[in-house]
């Protein structure tokens, strides 16, 4: 005789505790939205939309949202929910490809440290936003040079020294000209040249000098480490403490935090929008943003940029979707959540554009410049152009605080999910882990990542940051998603997987997913990956050209999170016994641990034995 237990209550089985669950389905949905709606939606999408035909850009964006982002997001979310496993263990479906989970975990580790430096910059700006006057509006500070100027009416705009040829290769978290772009590329419009009577003299605005000489205190190049900048060290440590606080009890604390971090950015962005649209020149900026140019649809580059933005801004291939969904109740309507997430992600990107361009239109009006001369992307927008524009409003401290609080919450949402990917992978590898042991794993992981992030706080940290951005993501993320589609669509079988989902959801998902996973998704991604490699350019940062060894270092970064994939295939084959034909067969078919989530499977098996 066996004793029944509530499979949704982890406390009912002390020896083999069941997996934690989200308290409410809304907790999961908010965490999903917070994860996917990142800084790139605010500082990258509006720029691409304005540059590529205004509202017309929404057409290729929506096409790839439906045909690429939605099916791949649904695939990763459903894998996590069905199996109740981490991004590593979920590949019990096809053991030879456990390297996909290892690659996603390595990527999330590197990504978390990269994100934390952005978080540190935001915190530093947020603290200085309370000062009067705002420190990026004057030229009489210790960090200013003789070439510093304060923007006045009719002066030239902010982005003339860096042209569109400087593009990161691998759209790390960022892309630049659509060839490479997920939201953070530093390599655009950081410096500006202001016309003067002496055309050989470069003048820099107060906001640029604050960024370069106060925040970064930038050195001469990659080989010039300089010293650790303690103001950034403090901001970075505070950032890691905030992340630790968000994930200290896993989804239990994350599920509470997201009610603030995933919702308040919309409040802040709406407040800024209401004020911005009343400013003189705001409508000019909005017109520049949305007026359609139908001819752009004939430009292949526009379609490529739309695909790049949608792919990298959604978080596909990072492991976050699988990890978060693994904490869902087994019968949660994951297809509904996928559709909601994709719609909100696209809507947020478009909505943010009105805020950005209404303020840039006002700045254009104030300076006498054209909107197209002011608009830029990446940190050039977030840390130079936009703060400068907000400083010209009445009560500039208020608007600066709201703006950087918005960026803070958006960054935290994206970052703690990336860290949770690493934590979940580690804790799932340890059997019968207690809550106290999990806390130790979380604290140790955050501490080690914090130590590694210190490299970005040196005076050459921005060059390292740019190098990671240039090379990090595309090779790994494209490889992961192409192979995910191949494994599910062909090795495991799309029909077989849809059968599993029908058992989980009570209704079979549309058959179109079968053809998207098997054909369109892997073909599209393979073509774009080849295009990316063909268009490769060595890294640069503004006028700085990296030394030759930087390319070799960059390729090592690119391969670091990609190599687990082939390594695990070889490792799995060698570790098996018997003839090679049998080894290959068993490596590419599900093992005994694959199946529905453990807590559901226990209840299901129990009901079967009592019938």
Residue 251 has pLDDT above 50, yes or no: yes
Burial class of 436 by CB neighbour count within 10 A (0 to 12, 13 to 18, 19+): exposed
Q: What is the pLDDT at residue 165? A: 34
Return the sign of the alpha-carbon dihedral for residues 223, 229, 234, 239. Answer: negative
Q: How confident is the model at residue 364 (pLDDT cuts 50, 70, 90)?
A: confident
3-state secondary structure of 148: strand
Q: How confident is the model at residue 17 (pLDDT cuts 50, 70, 90)?
A: low
Residue 182 has pLDDT above 60, yes or no: no
3-state secondary structure of 63: helix
234 is in an annotated binding site: no
- Reference 276, options 364, 181, 370; nearest CA is 364
* Better-scored residue on pLDDT, 112 or 191: 112
Burial class of 278 by CB neighbour count within 10 A (0 to 12, 13 to 18, 19+): exposed
Q: Print burial letters for 185-218: b (CB count within 10 Å at least 16), e (below 16).
A: bbbbbbbbbbeeeeeeeebbbbbbbbbbbbbbbb
What is the rounded average pLDDT of the residues 474-482?
93
Q: What is the pLDDT at residue 44? A: 82
Angle at 299 (CA atoms; ends 294, 303), nearest 5 degrees: 95
605 is in an annotated binding site: no
For 324-356, the pLDDT digits (tens) are 999 999 999 999 999 999 999 889 989 998 998
226 is in an annotated binding site: no
Q: Alpha-carbon distance 37 to 40, whole Å?
A: 8
What is the rounded average pLDDT of the residues 595-602?
72
Q: What is the pLDDT at residue 153? A: 43
* Better-scored residue on pLDDT, 224 or 369: 224
For 308-330, the pLDDT digits (tens) are 888 888 999 999 999 999 999 99
Highest mean pLDDT, choosing among 203-207, 371-375, 521-525: 521-525
Residue-level length of the chain: 611
* Better-scored residue on pLDDT, 43 or 14: 43
Residue 410 has pLDDT above 90, yes or no: yes
For all residues of the chain together, what is the average pLDDT? 85
Angle at 368 (CA atoms; ends 364, 374), nearest 5 degrees: 40
172 is in an annotated binding site: no
Q: What is the pLDDT at residue 536? A: 87
**Cα dihedral angle (227, 229, 234, 236), rounded to 10 degrees?**
-90
Q: Alpha-carbon distance 475 to 536, whole Å?
A: 12
37 is in an annotated binding site: yes
Residue 181 has pLDDT above 60, yes or no: no
For 95-112, the pLDDT digits (tens) are 999 999 999 999 999 999
For 199-244, the pLDDT digits (tens) are 467 788 999 999 999 999 999 999 999 999 999 999 999 999 999 9
3-state secondary structure 428-457: HCCCCCCHHHHHHHHHHHHHHHHHHHHHHH
Helices H, strands E: what count in the chain? 28, 4
pTM score of the predicted model: 0.88
Residue 173 has pLDDT above 50, yes or no: no
Q: What is the pLDDT at residue 368? A: 82
Q: What is the pLDDT at residue 378? A: 54
Q: Alpha-carbon distance 70 to 274, whole Å?
A: 32
DSSP at 56: G
How would you classify the pairing of strands 148-149 and 544-545?
unpaired
Residue 472 has pLDDT above 90, yes or no: no
Domains of the chain and any CATH numbers = 10-125+164-184+224-381+401-609 (1.20.1740)
For 64-89, the pLDDT digits (tens) are 999 999 999 999 999 999 999 999 99
Helix (H) or strand (E) holding 149: strand 148-149
**280: its two tokens:** 């003189």
Residue 574 has pLDDT above 90, yes or no: yes
- Reference 476, options 310, 314, 317; nearest CA is 317
Give the list of residues 6+ apart from residue 390 with CB closer than 8 angstroms, or none: 359, 396, 399, 400, 403
Q: What is the pLDDT at residue 209? A: 94
313 is in an annotated binding site: yes
Q: What is the pLDDT at residue 495? A: 97
């Amino acid at each position: 005789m066996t004793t029944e237990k509530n499979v949704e209550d982890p406390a009912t089985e002390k020896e083999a505790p069941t997996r934690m669950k989200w308290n409410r389905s809304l907790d999961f949905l908010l965490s999903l939205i917070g994860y996917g709606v990142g800084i790139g939606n605010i500082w990258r999408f509006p720029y691409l939309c304005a540059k590529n035909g205004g509202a017309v850009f929404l057409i290729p964006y929506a096409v790839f949202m439906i045909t690429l982002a939605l099916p791949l997001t649904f695939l990763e979310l459903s894998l996590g929910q069905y199996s109740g496993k981490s991004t590593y263990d979920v590949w019990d479906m096809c053991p030879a490809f456990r390297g996909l989970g290892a690659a996603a975990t390595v990527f999330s580790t590197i990504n978390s440290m990269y994100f934390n430096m952005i978080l540190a910059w935001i915190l530093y700006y947020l603290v200085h936003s309370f000062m009067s006057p705002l420190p990026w509006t004057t030229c009489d500070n210790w960090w200013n040079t003789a070439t510093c100027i304060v923007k006045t009416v009719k002066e030239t705009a902010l982005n003339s020294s860096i042209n569109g040829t400087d593009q990161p290769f691998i759209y790390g978290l960022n892309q630049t000209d659509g060839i490479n772009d997920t939201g953070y590329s530093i390599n655009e419009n950081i410096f500006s040249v202001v016309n003067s009577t002496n055309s050989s003299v470069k003048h820099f605005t107060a906001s640029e000098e604050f960024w370069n000489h106060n925040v970064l205190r930038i050195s001469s190049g990659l080989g010039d480490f300089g010293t650790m900048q303690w103001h950034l060290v403090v901001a970075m440590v505070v950032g890691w403490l905030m992340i630790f606080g968000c994930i200290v009890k896993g989804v239990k604390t994350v599920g509470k935090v997201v009610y603030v971090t995933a919702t308040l950015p919309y409040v802040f962005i709406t407040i800024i929008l209401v004020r911005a649209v009343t400013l003189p020149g705001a409508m000019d900026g909005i017109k520049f943003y949305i007026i359609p140019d139908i001819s752009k649809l004939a430009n292949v580059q526009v379609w490529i940029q739309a695909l790049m933005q949608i792919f990298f801004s959604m978080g596909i291939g990072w492991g976050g979707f699988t990890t978060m969904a693994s904490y869902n109740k087994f019968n949660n309507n994951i297809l509904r959540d996928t559709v909601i997430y994709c719609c909100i992600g696209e809507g947020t990107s478009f909505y943010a554009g009105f805020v950005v361009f209404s303020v840039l239109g006002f700045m254009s009006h104030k300076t006498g410049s054209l909107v197209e001369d002011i608009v830029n992307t990446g940190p050039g927008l977030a840390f130079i152009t936009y703060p400068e524009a907000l400083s010209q409003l009445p009560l500039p401290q208020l608007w600066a605080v709201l703006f950087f609080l918005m960026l803070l919450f958006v960054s935290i949402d994206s970052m703690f999910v990336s860290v949770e990917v690493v934590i979940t992978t580690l804790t799932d590898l340890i059997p019968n882990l207690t809550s106290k042991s999990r806390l130790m794993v979380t604290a140790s992981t955050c501490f080690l990542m914090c130590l590694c992030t210190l490299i970005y706080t040196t005076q050459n940290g921005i060059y390292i940051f740019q190098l990671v951005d240039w090379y990090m993501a595309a090779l790994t993320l494209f490889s992961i998603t192409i192979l995910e589609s191949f494994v599910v669509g062909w090795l495991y079988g799309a029909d077989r997987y849809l059968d599993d989902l029908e058992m989980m959801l009570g209704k079979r998902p549309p058959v179109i997913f079968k053809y998207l996973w098997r054909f369109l998704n892997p073909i599209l991604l393979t073509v774009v990956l080849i295009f990316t490699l063909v268009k490769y350019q060595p890294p640069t940062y503004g006028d700085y050209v990296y030394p030759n060894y930087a390319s070799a270092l960059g390729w090592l970064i690119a391969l670091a999170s990609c190599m687990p994939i082939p390594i695990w295939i070889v490792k799995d084959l060698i570790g098996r016994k018997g003839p090679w034909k049998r080894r290959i067969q068993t490596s590419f078919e599900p093992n005994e641990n694959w199946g529905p989530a453990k807590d559901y499977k226990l209840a299901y098996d129990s009901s079967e034995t009592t019938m």
